[in-house]
Amino acid sequence: MLLAVFTFSSTNVVCQLKSERIQVKTFDASTLDWKLWGYRPDSWRLNFDFNQFSGNWAEIVDVQFTMPGSVHNALRSANIIPDWSIGLNNTACEWVDNRHWIIVARIPDEWLAKENEAFMLDCDGIDYRGILMVNGKEAGQFENAFLPYSFDIKPFLKPNNNTIAFVFTSQPQNLAQIGWTSKITEWKPRFNYGWDWIPRIVQVGFFENVYLSVFESNQPEIESLQLITSADKLTDKGELKIKLDLNAEAQKGIIKIELSDLAGKIVMTETLPAKNCTFQKSWNALKIKRWWPNGFGNQVLYKLQLTLFDKEKNAIQKITRKVGFKNTEWLPCEGAKPEAEPWICSINNQPIFLQGINWTPIRPNFADLNEEDYRSRLSTYKQLGVNIIRVWGGGFPEKDWLYDLCDEMGILVWQDFPMSSSGVDNTPPDSPEAILDMTQIVKRYVNRLQPHASFLLWCGGNELYNKENTAPITYKHPMISEMKQLVNLLDSDRKWVDGTPSGPTIYAELDKFGTGNNWDVHGPWQLPFTATDKTMNAVKDFWAKDDALFHSEVGVPGAMSAAMINKYRGEFNALPASIENPIWRNVNWWVEWEDFKRDHNGQGTTSLDEYVDWSQKRQSDGLSIALKSCKDRFPRCGGFIIWMGHDSYPCMVNTSIMDYDGNLKPAALAISKIWKENNHLKTKY
C-alpha cells in the first residue's frame, strides 16, 4: 500500500492519502535490519559514521530495533533498561529521552533500480523530533507527532549501498499534567510525561510503519479525498458525497466509483471524466442497510472503491474505504434551558443514551502495540454494553485499528483534538504559529477519520478553560474559533464541541444543581461525600439532585486485584496502601487509605485482600448509583462516560474499570448490568 502525498499550501508538512498506486513499487521498511545507537546530545555530529554505522563515542551500540517500535522497547529487549511497569523501575528509565537516538538501516539496491523514478520515504507516525539522514546528509526534519511526513530522498541517493538514519534529537522537557497549557506548542503526546494515572515514561520512536514509495514523476494522482455518508432517518436509503483534489495529469483521465456490500454485491457504480482540479459528486437514495450502534442493531459496512484511469484508460490508482450509513441528530434534553447545547443523540430516529468509557492509550510505549491489543479491549467493552468511547486529548492520533474496530463493533467515537488542561492555566495557546500548527493537525484528523461510520463528534480538547479558570473554553478563543470553522468547513454534518466540559459550568457539584447551568460537566472522580455524611446515603442524595445534561467524565477509584498488586509491586510491600509506601506514592492521586481506616475504626489492616475488597466494592457501588441515576433521567440526561476505561500503567488504585493486563474490576460487571438495561427506550420529541 502506497501513501500518496498532498501538501497544504500554507505549510511544507505533508499529509498522506492511503491508496494503492497500480504498477508502482511500495516497500515496507519494517522488513529492513534496523539498529539503534545512543549518544549524549549532539555528540553523534562529530563521531557517528553514517556509511559504516560506527562511532566510538556512542553509549548504546548496534541494538536491534523493531520497526515500528519504541526506543524503550528496544532497550528493554536488550536488557539495558528494566521493565518500567514493575515497582519503581520507571525512574530508572527517565534518562532515555535525554539522549539522542540514531535508528539506521541500509536500503537494498534493488529497491532503487531505476534512476528516472521518484523516491519518497513516507512516515505516518513519528514520536517526535529529529532529522532524517540519507547517506550522511540531511534530507529533512520532523517535529510533530500528530502529522505524517513524506521525504523526497532522491537528491541524496547514490548508485548503490545507500543508508537511511532517523536521528531523534532532544525531546521536550515537560508536557506533564501540571503546567501551563497556554505555553504548550510542542505537538507530542502529553500523557507520557506523567498524569494522575501514569508516571513519566517518555516514548521515542515510530508508532506507524515507514514505507519507501517508488514511482514515475508526474503520474496522474488523486491527491486528497473528502468522503461523507449519511442515511434517511426512517428508511434504508443512503447518501454518499465525494470530493477529490486531482493533479493536472489526473484531469486528463476518468474516475470509476463503485459501492458494494462486503459480499461483493454492487450497490452503485459510475464512471465519470476527471475534468477539473476538484471533482465533486453526490448520490442519493442508495439502497443500503443502515449502521447501528452497539445494542440497537447491526453494523452493516460497505466497500467504496475509487479507481483513477489515465488518458489511455490504464488503471493508475485505487482508493478503498469501508463505509457505513447512519442518520445522526442532536436533540435538546427534556427540561433544558432553550439556549442549552443539545445532548440527546438520536441515531436513525432512535434516541440513544450514550454510555461508555474514556479511552486513553493502552500503553506508554504505544508504538509497540498490535491489533490484538485493541481488539481484546474493544470486544470486552462491546460485550459489557458500551456504545461510545471518548478518545481523550492527552493521547495520540490513535491507530487505524481503533476506528476500524469501532466501525465493526458499533462503538461510537467522540474525538478530542490533542490539547488538554495543565492546572496552572488551562487556556490554549493563541499565537499565529500555534494556530497554524493546529489547523494542519485538524485537517489531518478530519481527512483520516471522516469516513468512519462510528465517528460521532469533534471536540476542541480536554478541560480547556478561560484565563480565569472559571468556565469552559468557547469559540471566542482564537485557536478554538479557527478549529471550529475548519471542522465546519470539512465535516459540517458532525457535531462540534468547543471543549469538554462545555457550557456555563465546569464541574458537577452539589451546590450548583438545580440551576439549569450544568450542560456537559466533569466529575466527580471520587465518592461525593459531604462534611457530615461519609456514607452511600450522601452519594445517593448527590445523584438524586444532579441535573446535568451530560457527564463526559465521571469516576470512582478502585484498587487492582491483590494478584495484580503483587505482580507489579516489585521489591516493595503491598501494604500499607498509603503514600508512606513508595509503591503507592508513585501514582498517588487516588489513594484512599485514610477512608479505609475510618471505615475500620481508625485501624489499617495486614490483609491485602481485605483492603482490595473494600476498595473495589466502593467503586462498584459508587459507579452503579451514579450511572443508574443518570440513565433513569434519560432524556433529561443524554449520557454518562466513565473516567476511565483501562489502565495504561499498573496503578495500585485508579478510576479505571479494566486493569493494566486487561482484567475487569468488579465495577465493570456491576455497571454492565445497567448499561444493558432499557437500550431500546422509545422517546417522543
Report pLDDT digits (tens) over 224-253: 899 999 999 999 999 999 999 999 988 999
Which of 403, 459, 379, 292 is CA-nearest to residue 646?
379
Report pLDDT digits (tens) over 293-310: 999 999 999 999 999 999
In this prediction, residue 277 carries a pLDDT of 84
Where do runs of H (alpha helix) occur along 105-182?
A: none
DSSP 93: G
In this prediction, residue 681 carries a pLDDT of 57
Angle at CA 136, nearest 5°, toward 135 and 137? 95
Report pLDDT digits (tens) over 447-506: 999 999 999 999 999 999 999 999 999 999 999 999 999 999 999 999 999 999 999 999
- Contact predicate 449/489, CB 8 Å: no
pLDDT over 90 percentage in the chain: 90
Q: Which three cell numbers stand for residue 294?
A: 452497539
In this prediction, residue 242 carries a pLDDT of 95
In this prediction, residue 14 carries a pLDDT of 41
- Contact predicate 519/503, CB 8 Å: yes
Does position 409 have pLDDT exceeding 90, yes or no? Answer: yes
Residue 164 CA to residue 5 CA, distance in Å, equals: 20
Report pLDDT digits (tens) over 665-680: 999 999 999 999 976 5
User: Which residues have C-beta within 8 Å of that of residue 511, sequence separation ≥ 6?
Assistant: none
Domains along the sequence of the chain with CATH: 2-216 (2.60.120.260), 222-323 (2.60.40.10), 340-565+619-675 (3.20.20.80)
Report pLDDT digits (tens) over 126-151: 999 999 999 999 999 999 999 999 99
3-class DSSP assignment, residue 122 = strand
Does position 17 have pLDDT exceeding 80, yes or no? Answer: no
DSSP 579: T
3-class DSSP assignment, residue 267 = strand
C-alpha 311, offset from chain centre? 41
Burial level of 474, CB count in 10 A (0-12/13-18/19+)? middle
Q: Which three cell numbers stand for residue 614?
A: 473494600
In this prediction, residue 334 carries a pLDDT of 97
In this prediction, residue 215 carries a pLDDT of 81
Which of 411, 399, 416, 492 is CA-nearest to residue 459?
416
Report pLDDT digits (tens) over 158-180: 999 999 999 999 999 999 999 99
Does position 6 have pLDDT exceeding 50, yes or no? Answer: no
Residue 132 CA to residue 269 CA, distance in Å, equals: 43
Number of CB atoms found within 10 A of residue 662's CB: 13
Report pLDDT digits (tens) over 475-489: 999 999 999 999 999
Report pLDDT digits (tens) over 316-361: 899 999 999 999 999 999 999 999 999 999 999 999 999 999 999 9
Q: Which three cell numbers stand for residue 531?
A: 462534611
Mean pLDDT, the chain, whole residue set? 94
In this prediction, residue 12 carries a pLDDT of 33
